[in-house]
Chains A and B, each alone.
Chain A
Amino acid sequence: MEDRDDLTIRIDRYLKGEMATAEREAFEAECKADTALAQSLAIQAQAEIAVRAYAQDIRRAELTAQFDTLPQPVANIRPLPRMWPAIAVAAAVIILFVTFLLLPPGSQALDNQQLYAQSIGERPALTFVRTIGESADTSAAAVEAAAWALAAQAYNDRDYDAAIQALQKMLNDPAIDSQPKVQFYLGLSYLWMQDSLDAAGMDSEVNYRRLGRETLALVDSRSSFGEKASWYGALSLLANDNVSQAIPALEAIAAQPLHYRRNQAMKLIEQLKLE
């Protein structure tokens, strides 16, 4: 029978990834066949988790105590005004507009970011209609209306973080009928979130633009949001300077005679092909 310390050492080697593949697989097979060994592994894993958490607690307390001794503020930084994202976007739009006015026609083409901003124009607002008393199940209608009210307030206030949260809750919720609409505005919220971060020069671990594009791609093309989703999805490729994918996406729009953005798509393709 294995000595307790030897077992601890053996399990330690496993948890630290020090076993070669064959040895590790043999160990796991042994655990599956031996309940006591499996329990010992589970307990030691829990011990490691506890040790790590304990060590982090101590280090956290040390650093917090260190922070509290620092002069405040550490650097002479003024807090930025609350409206800075809107101010940054407005400034960008004004600069683009002036540039467009000053440039003679047919002169230096706008870059992709400028084309993107120009094509986006005014962001679509999120509106919803209450249908009180019309539906057979008014409680369901009330639940849906309340959810939309929350999402709309956040979205229209440009609090895209809150809008994303609200819309994510509505996604795949059977109480919410209009899933294409949820997907569409969720996709847009992700795109506007990335725009805000870009305008502020802030990095993010989350690629909101990619999330936006993927969400917009889920929108049923037969729904009333299908055409809009395809348009903004194509524009999001442009925002990433991904012209090689943006052009085919825009050509797919231009190929639809009744698409509401057909003319804009064709014009954008011409401009992109000038680059």
Chain B
Amino acid sequence: MTHPLPSSDADIIAAIRAGGANRTRCENALYTEYAYLVWRRPRKYKLSDDEARDAYTEAFLAVVDHIVTERFRGESSIKTYLSRIFRNKCVDQHRKNTTNQVAWTETFPDLPDTSRDFVRQLVGKESLEVLKQHIARLGERCQEILMLAGQGYKPAEIAEQLGFKTAHSASSQRYKCLTKLKALIAGREIFS
């Protein structure tokens, strides 16, 4: 069951940025609110209902990420912004441009461009599917912690969700999980 959406864009943005369970509820309500865009999609791209649904979901995830990383500055309404990105995702689907390429700007949004380039040169071309398979080899607890961290939840929110006593405990556990994941990755040939 979805909860009612906050009444203004400012409230929605604040709720998403605040994080935690409230963020998830707000996201779910927002997703339902504009799901009709799938049925109003540009017909010329000849997308099936499933492809359009997937394009909408990708657009929605991008918008949430932009809200969290403050890339979305509220210069247009959330609806306009989402519509615009949805249209572009429809174009991508139409051109079969959806790949497993990594969006560097979204993964390390707080690094300056020069540092991002520096890291990119070190990492080379990675296979995302191979990298994700390593996560499956971690224990369930690590998977839960990393999943929440990957979705942008702060240590305090992770602590609340998973029952840690303090944010620091959640943070420490995250580092331990990350160290384990690094060890798994290092066990394979990484540099191309």
Binding site for B on A (CB under 8 A): 4-5, 8-9, 12, 14-18, 24, 28, 31, 38-60, 63-64, 66-68, 70, 72-75, 77, 79-80, 82, 159, 161, 165, 202-206
Contacts and interface: CB of A to CB of B under 8 A. Distances in A.
B85 A46 contact: no
Contacts of B106: 52
A50 B36 contact: no
Nearest to A42: B122
Nearest to A17: B110
A60 B182 contact: no
A57 B132 contact: yes
Contact of B123 (A45, A56, A203): A45
B178 A44 contact: yes
B93 interface: no
Interface residues of B, number: 66
Interface of B: 2, 28, 31-32, 35-36, 38-40, 43-44, 53-54, 56-58, 60-61, 76, 80, 83-85, 87-88, 91, 94-95, 100, 102, 106-112, 115, 118-119, 122-124, 126, 128, 131-132, 134-135, 143, 146-151, 175-176, 178-179, 181-182, 185-186, 190-191
Given A31-B122, A66-B28, A74-B35, A40 B43 contact: no
- Prevailing SS type, chain A contact patch: helix
A53 B128 contact: yes
A112 to B, nearest CB: 23
A8 B178 contact: yes
Nearest to B111: A17
Contacts of B36: 73-75, 77
Contacts of A9: 175
Contact of B122 (A41, A67, A73, A202): A41
B61 A59 contact: yes
A98 to B, nearest CB: 29
24 contacts: A15-B111, A17-B109, A42-B191, A43-B185, A44-B182, A45-B122, A46-B126, A46-B131, A47-B178, A49-B131, A50-B128, A51-B135, A51-B178, A54-B143, A54-B146, A60-B57, A64-B57, A66-B31, A70-B35, A73-B36, A74-B39, A203-B80, A203-B83, A206-B88
